[in-house]
Each structure stands twice: as C-alpha cells, then as structure tokens.
C-alpha cells in the first residue's frame, strides 16, 4: 500500500512538473512579462523591417453605402454630420438602420486568389486586412459577434480565412496580417463600461480579448494592427497581459509584429513598430521602427462611390512617398478599399500593379535596405 501511494505521488508530481513549462514558458519563466519595459524589449522580427512595403485593406459593412468614409455609421448617427444625414434621407426609407446594410454586404465577386495575385504583383511583402472595424462587424465567423459577422449575414463566408489561405497558397513571400479595432462605437457592453469610467471590463473580457485570441489562434497573422484604443487606458484593455501571451505562448510568438495602439498614452511609445497617427511621415530618421499607414484615396480608407479622379494619389506620388518613408527607416502600408461586392476597383488595381512594376526595377534600393547617413538631398527637391 505504501509503495503504491509513493508511486502514485511520484506520477502526480511528474504530471505537475510536465505542465509547468507550458504555463511558465521557456526555462521555467516567461521570457516577456506583462509590463511595457519587458514587452518593448522584444526584438522586432527581421522580416518586417526587410519587407518595407505592405497593403492595407479596409472592408466591412461601411463598404455598402460607400459614401464619405469608413466612419459612415458614426458620422450618420454617432456625431451626425449634415452630408451623411442628408445622404440617408435622400436615398433610404424612413426607419432604415445601419444593420440593414449588412445583408447588402454581399461580396459575390470576392475571389481571394485574385486578391492575392494583385497584392503579390504590387511588390508588397505583407497585407493587413480589417478583421473588425469600429462598427463591430467581424469579417470572420466570430463566436463573440452573433449575427453581426460575415458568416451569419451578408457574404455568408469567412472573408478573413479565405484571404489567409489564398495568401499562403498563391504568393511566394507575402505575410498575412490583420487589423482589429479594440472598441466598438455602439456595443452596449462597451458603452456600459465607458459610462462607468471604465471601472468595469465587461466588454474587454467578454468581447475584445476573446476576439483577439480567436483571430490569432485561427488565422495566425504575422501582423496584428490594433486600433480604436484612444478612449481608455491600456489597463482597461489588459494590453500588456495580452501582448505577453502573444509574444510568449501564441502560435505566432516568433513571427508576429504589432503596432503601438494599445490604449491611451501608448501611441508612439510602446509596441513593436510605431504607427503614431494616420499617414505618419516624419520626414526624418527615427530611432524606433515606424510605419506610414496611408491611403491611395486621399479622403477615405474605405471605398467611396463618389470619389473623383483627383482624389487618388498618382503612381508618381506613391513612389515618392515610398522612397521618403523607406529612407527614414519606415515601412509604407498603402491602403485600398474593396467594394461591397468583393472587387478591387480598377483604379486601385492599376496603382498597385504600377507600384509593382517600379519595384521590379528598383526593389534592390527598397527591400532589406538600411537608412544612409543622410536621408535627403537638401539641394535637390524630392531626392531621398
């Protein structure tokens, strides 16, 4: 009896010890701890700095009205602006709600293989797709967004998963990434937390963090581009705890890169690379790796049906922005907005393919380059 008890105790001890590395990480302790000094000490995976050029895609229910910008719902009903209110009065029946747009987000022409081919032809080395924007609609069948996701309503398919598969199957060296908005304008759980001064974390614990784990574990993105953070402190979002898990134990812990939008006070201070603000382009060499996220359409990140030709940057302008950005140590993340029916509009496709043609000739001066001792020629304009 005593011998059997000893043996059982030994077996139990072995099981416990075997589980410890899974809980504590390598060498019995977490490599990165849930605080900013530790998380900020993580070296940026080398692929990102070498890539230099990526494609951003803003796609969601806002692609249906495709008027004004991707902030359509907020500008219509959050903090109303006259052009959006008049647009709805003129074109939609009384009582029409924003969720009524969702069934019209059909994506019937969405061919992920075509998307992948265009992205590769652009010369981009990574792509970042919106998994969820501030409207809360998830472009994947999230368990935490019932009837407000691309499988339950609208496209009736996994937009994120289909593109992830196509990028990995049909491109040679393009990394897949995802944008995710932490907050949602009108989510009642978020509004409840906000009303209480963010003293509760109901939305964070029930929606935001589960979604983040879901997209990381299901789609394994190499870029996690966070946004929608500015109303609450990182403590509300549990940002350092999540990032510690991401860098220690997640399936992409060795390859993933993140930006700096993880709560009030983190922008341009914490995270893998700094995005600071939209269209960030300091024009001087920075001490920390940074990214210029900008749009081909000067006025919007989402597709606009009413855009005029002059609203789009020319290929020459885009090449100049790329050269300036890379010379100062940054990456360029160039945004397009697919249509509600799942197309990359011809003008966006033309710009991307022309960027690719330029990079075929000049790519050696872009990819894996390092900043020189001087960033620009002070006597000759636009020479970087």
Least confident of 149-158, 258-267, 279-288, 316-325: 279-288
Mean pLDDT of 171-197: 98
User: In total, how many domains does the chain have?
Assistant: 1
Does residue 225 lie in a domain region?
yes
Task: Categorize the per-residue pLDDT at 185 as very low, low, confident or very high, splitting at 50, 70 and 90.
Answer: very high
Please give the model's pTM, rounded to 2 decimal places.
0.90
Q: What is the CATH number of the domain that holds 94?
A: 3.20.20.80
Please, is 32 exposed, middle or buried when counting C-beta atoms within 10 Å of its C-beta (0-12, 13-18, 19+)? buried
- So what's the pLDDT on residue 380? 83
- So what's the pLDDT on residue 61? 98
Mean pLDDT of 333-339: 98
Which of left, alpha, beta for 111 (phi over 0: left; psi -120 to 50: alpha)?
beta
175 φ/ψ angles, rounded to the nearest 5 degrees: -85, 145
Does residue 19 lie in a domain region?
no
Mean pLDDT of 310-330: 97
Task: Categorize the per-residue pLDDT at 29 as very low, low, confident or very high, splitting at 50, 70 and 90.
Answer: low
- So what's the pLDDT on residue 90? 98
Provide the percentage of residues in the chain whose pLDDT is more than 70: 92
Does residue 267 lie in a domain region?
yes
- So what's the pLDDT on residue 215? 98
Tokens standing for residue 71: 């902030």
- So what's the pLDDT on residue 24? 39
DSSP states of 33-82: -SSHHHHHTSPPPHHHHHH-EEEEE--SGGGTT--S-TTHHIIIIIS--H
* Range of the structural domain that residue 58 is part of: 36-365
Does residue 93 lie in a domain region?
yes
- So what's the pLDDT on residue 384? 84
Distance separating alpha carbons of residues 124 and 136, to the nearest angstrom: 28
Least confident of 77-81, 281-285, 376-380: 376-380
Mean pLDDT of 241-260: 98
Q: Is the pLDDT of residue 25 over 50?
A: no
Does residue 381 lie in a domain region?
no
Does residue 8 lie in a domain region?
no
- So what's the pLDDT on residue 4? 46
Asked whether 84 and 67 are in contact (CB, 8 A), the reply is yes
- So what's the pLDDT on residue 13? 40
Q: What angle do CA 188, 193, 198 make, to 5 degrees?
A: 160
- So what's the pLDDT on residue 66? 98
Does residue 378 lie in a domain region?
no
Distance separating alpha carbons of residues 292 and 333, to the nearest angstrom: 6
Note the pLDDT tens digit of each residue in 299-314.
999 999 999 999 999 9
Does residue 14 lie in a domain region?
no
Strand intervals (E) in 66-157: 126-132
């Amino acid at each position: 009896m005593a011998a059997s008890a000893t043996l059982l105790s030994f077996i139990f001890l072995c099981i416990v010890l075997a589980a410890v590395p899974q809980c504590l990480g390598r060498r019995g302790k977490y490599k990165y701890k849930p605080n900013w000094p530790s998380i900020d000490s993580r070296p940026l995976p080398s692929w990102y700095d070498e890539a230099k050029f990526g494609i951003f895609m803003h796609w969601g229910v806002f692609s249906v009205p495709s008027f004004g910008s991707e902030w359509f719902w907020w500008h219509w009903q959050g903090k109303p602006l006259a052009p959006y209110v008049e647009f709805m009065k003129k074109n939609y029946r009384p009582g029409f709600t924003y969720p009524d747009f969702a069934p019209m987000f059909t994506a019937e022409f969405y061919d992920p293989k075509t998307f992948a081919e265009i992205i590769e032809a652009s010369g981009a080395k990574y792509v970042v797709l919106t998994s969820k924007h501030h409207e809360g609609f998830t472009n994947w069948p999230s368990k935490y967004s019932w009837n407000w996701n691309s499988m339950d309503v609208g496209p009736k398919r996994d937009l994120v998963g289909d593109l992830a598969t196509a990028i990995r199957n049909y491109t040679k060296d393009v990394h897949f990434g995802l944008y995710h908005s932490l907050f949602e304008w009108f989510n009642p759980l978020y509004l409840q937390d906000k009303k209480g001064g963010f003293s509760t974390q109901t939305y964070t614990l029930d929606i935001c963090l589960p979604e983040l784990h879901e997209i990381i574990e299901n789609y394994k993105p190499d870029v996690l581009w966070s946004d929608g953070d500015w109303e609450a402190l990182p403590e509300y979002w549990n940002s350092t705890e999540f990032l510690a898990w991401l860098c220690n134990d997640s399936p992409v812990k060795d390859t993933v890169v993140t930006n700096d939008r993880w709560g009030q006070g983190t922008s341009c201070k914490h995270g893998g690379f700094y995005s600071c603000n939209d269209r960030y382009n300091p024009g001087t060499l920075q001490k920390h790796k940074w990214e210029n996220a900008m749009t081909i359409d000067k006025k919007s990140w989402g597709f606009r049906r009413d855009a005029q030709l002059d609203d789009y940057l020319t290929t020459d302008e885009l090449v100049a922005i790329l050269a300036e950005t890379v010379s100062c140590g940054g990456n360029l993340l160039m945004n397009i907005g697919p249509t509600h029916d799942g197309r990359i509009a011809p003008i966006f496709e033309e710009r991307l393919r022309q960027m690719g043609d330029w990079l075929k000739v000049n790519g050696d001066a872009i990819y894996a380059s390092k900043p020189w001792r001087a960033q620009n020629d002070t006597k000759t304009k636009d020479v970087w």
